[in-house]
Amino acid sequence: MAIEKVGIYSKWLGDVPEDNNGNPLPRTDWPRKRRRKWVVRWYSTDNKKRYGKVFKTRKEAERCAAKLQNEVHSGRADRPIDITLHGFLIEHEAVMKGQVAIATLHDHIRALTLFENFIGGSTKLIRITARDAEAFIASRLELREIETANKDIRTLRSIFNRAINPRGYLQEGKNPFAKIKERKTTEKEVRYVAVEEYRKLMEATDQVWWKTVLAIAYGSGLRHNEILHLTWADVDFDNQKIHVRPKKEAPNILKWDPKSRKKRTVSMSDESCLLLANLQAEAKDKHPYAFITPERLKVILNKRQAGKWHERKAMVNNVTRDFHVIRNHAGIDHCILHDLRRSAITRWAERLPIQVVQYLAGHSNITTTRKYYLAVRDEDLQVAIDWTNKVLRESLPTDTKMTPD
């Protein structure tokens, strides 16, 4: 049974006082003749360790004991386990595999490595302070990369929260990045691809593969990686639906998880359905993937078997480069493939509740849906102007209302 009582004890200092004849004074007379401090003691959750804190006055000790008692009852009063920043980095990489997406894990290791290089890998985790964290972020800001510095703050704050719970390397409230504020930045404009621009992109390529990718990105709002991992089993031609779902390792199937780590179903347009049917007609029998060719799949499988495949490598080479070529042929102002997805989400937001848009987009956080994907288009601005003009005209007296020439 765990010992949950926090005790307060005297710690006498110096030798036992003596009377005039050199005899030791009785213990009852010590408080008047002998200096002492007060010790607060408690046991770890497993009763294997006993902790203590020393105070000058009993009042200070009693205050500490009252605060500690609740923490002992809830199992949160154990002293942190000793570990260096480098040791924590190595452990974090090992234990987080499979818990977060590969890209997220790589970002965690990137941020931790940068922080380790700044402060030193031998630094004990419990010795890292908010001052160290702020100095690190200041060094990142010297590179004039505000958005990257803000990302580092968010990433390291999340990582050090894990150092508190569940790992027990830091006490509650000791996250050095907890109170480091992100710097203000000017939000980037969300690029909306109009229907006319989408049509120009479609006309700028003769490849069925690329036409299908563009149609699914613009019509179904799938991410680049989600499109590339589609198998024919994910496509429901009868109901015009696409299933975005994780893949288990199997012969000719690559293990893969969606970014949100959740499966979802989206609809596809008539155009996407027809293009996918044409793509399937050109595909080799029994090849599972819609967009990864048999030759490319073989290369990936061979590299995986040889231990030379990195999960962040491109499933299909030169997709970004080839899209830029199509965009330039179409005469479209700068946009990226991901902007087609954002445009789909913006169109859905015109007619659908925000929680439905979040589901279709595959966002784990609805804030992402609101902040980054709901673009303000030129036609929206025109509606606002027209509405303002209408209200102002109706507020004028009848004899002064403006009439068009």
| CATH number, position 209 | 1.10.443.10
Q: What is the pLDDT of residues 369-402, one digit of tens each?
A: 887 677 777 787 788 888 888 887 887 776 655 5
Q: Is the dihedral of CA 257, 261, 263, 269 positive or negative?
A: negative
**Is residue 372 in some structural domain?**
no
Chain length of the chain: 405
**Is residue 187 in some structural domain?**
no
- Alpha helix ranges (H) inside 97-238: 102-119, 130-141, 146-164, 195-203, 208-220, 224-228
Query: Quick one: 68 and 89 in the same domain?
Result: no
pLDDT of residue 125: 94
Structural domain boundaries enclosing 41: 7-73
Q: How many CB atoms lie within 10 A of CB 234?
A: 19
Query: Quick one: 214 and 298 in the same domain?
Result: yes
Q: How many CB atoms lie within 10 A of CB 380?
A: 13
**Residue 52 near residue 66 (C-beta atoms within 8 A):** no
Q: Among 21, 45, 73, identify where a domain stops.
A: 73
**Is residue 348 in some structural domain?**
no
**Residue 223 near residue 259 (C-beta atoms within 8 A):** yes
Query: Quick one: 137 and 203 in the same domain?
Result: no
Query: Quick one: 133 and 14 in the same domain?
Result: no
The pTM of the full predicted model, rounded to 2 decimals, is 0.70
Query: Quick one: 125 and 156 in the same domain?
Result: yes
Residue 301: exposure state from Cβ atoms within 10 A (0-12, 13-18, ≥19): middle
Q: Beta strands of 169-259 (E only): which ranges?
A: 235-236, 241-244
Whole-angstrom Cα distance, residue 355 to residue 65?
47
**Is residue 148 in some structural domain?**
yes
Query: Quick one: 93 and 55 in the same domain?
Result: no
Query: Quick one: 218 and 272 in the same domain?
Result: yes
Q: Among 45, 73, 101, identify where a domain stops.
A: 73
Please count the structural domains in the chain: 3
**Is residue 381 in some structural domain?**
no
pLDDT of residue 379: 80
Residue 385: exposure state from Cβ atoms within 10 A (0-12, 13-18, ≥19): exposed
Query: Quick one: 106 and 228 in the same domain?
Result: no
Query: Quick one: 33 and 58 in the same domain?
Result: yes
Q: How many CB atoms lie within 10 A of CB 318?
A: 10
**Is residue 243 in some structural domain?**
yes
**Is residue 352 in some structural domain?**
no
> Nearest-CA neighbor of 99 among 159, 154, 164?
159
> Nearest-CA neighbor of 178 among 147, 153, 145, 151?
153
The tokens for 132 are: 């160290």
Whole-angstrom Cα distance, residue 168 to residue 178?
16
pLDDT of residue 162: 95
Q: How far is CA 235 from the centre of its chain?
A: 29
Q: Among 299, 328, 343, identify where a domain stops.
A: 343
Query: Quick one: 204 and 101 in the same domain?
Result: no
Q: What are phi and psi of 164, to 5 degrees?
A: -80, -55
Residues of the chain with pLDDT under 50: 1
pLDDT of residue 1: 47
**Residue 75 near residue 101 (C-beta atoms within 8 A):** no
**Is residue 122 in some structural domain?**
yes
Whole-angstrom Cα distance, residue 189 to residue 82?
46
CB-hemisphere CA count at 13 Å for 123?
18
Query: Quick one: 332 and 238 in the same domain?
Result: yes
Query: Quick one: 62 and 101 in the same domain?
Result: no
